[in-house]
Amino acid sequence: MRITPLDLRNHRFPRRMGGYDREEVDSFLQVAAEDYEAALRRVEQQAARIRELEQRVQDLAANEKVVQETLSTVHRLSEDLKRTAVKEAEVIVGEAEIRGEKVLEAAHRRAAKLTDDIREMKVLKIRLAAAVRSTIETHLELLETLATEPAVEVPPPAARIAPLPRPALAPAPPAAPAPAPAEPPRARKP
């Protein structure tokens, strides 16, 4: 700026004849200097306000950049979390399907084993029934044979037992075992 309010106040015009009224010029210069000074103060205040607002804009722009970066990061993290959750869900479902298949397979194996066991038990039942039937028939035939055979006289037990001689000094050899009673012959099925 080339003229300051102080220049306006201190400026003295040269005197001439027939010139302007000196008091009026001084008064006008005083008012002009005050108005000019007030205008300069307003300009300086506005410049300070502009600098302050520009700084605030820069701060807000930096904050906006930080917010944008944060939003971008949050969005990426959100997408990553979604992808991770989907993958984990797929893994959990896969594991559950595998466990289900294993349980189902074990149930099928158990059912097959139970079916085999039942089949074996039925065969065993048939064999056991045949064996019992055969044994009963054999005993019935034996009873029939015993019922038709004449009665054999059996000597009393005292007659069958012989007294043992007493040894002198040397021990006697052990006695031979008594003969076993004869079993009746088994009848065979025709």
CA distances from 111 to 106, 115, 116, 122, 123 (A): 8, 6, 9, 16, 18
Structure tokens at 138: 């054999």
At 158, list the tokens: 């005292």
Q: Per residue of the chain (190 residues), what is the pLDDT tens digit? A: 577 777 777 777 777 777 777 787 778 888 888 888 888 899 999 999 999 999 999 999 999 989 999 999 999 999 999 999 999 999 999 999 999 999 999 999 999 999 999 999 999 999 999 999 999 999 999 888 888 877 667 666 666 676 666 766 655 556 556 555 555 555 555 4
For residue 130, what are the contacts with CB-CB under 8 A and spacing of at least 6? none
CA gyration radius, the chain: 67
Residues 6+ apart with CB under 8 A from 165: 172
Q: Are 186 and 139 in contact (CB under 8 A)?
A: no
Q: How many CB atoms lie within 10 A of CB 29?
A: 19
Cα torsion 72, 77, 78, 84 to 10°: value is: 150
Which pTM value belongs to this model?
0.38
Summary count for the chain: helices (H), strands (E): 3, 0
Residues 183/145, Cβ–Cβ less than 8 Å = no
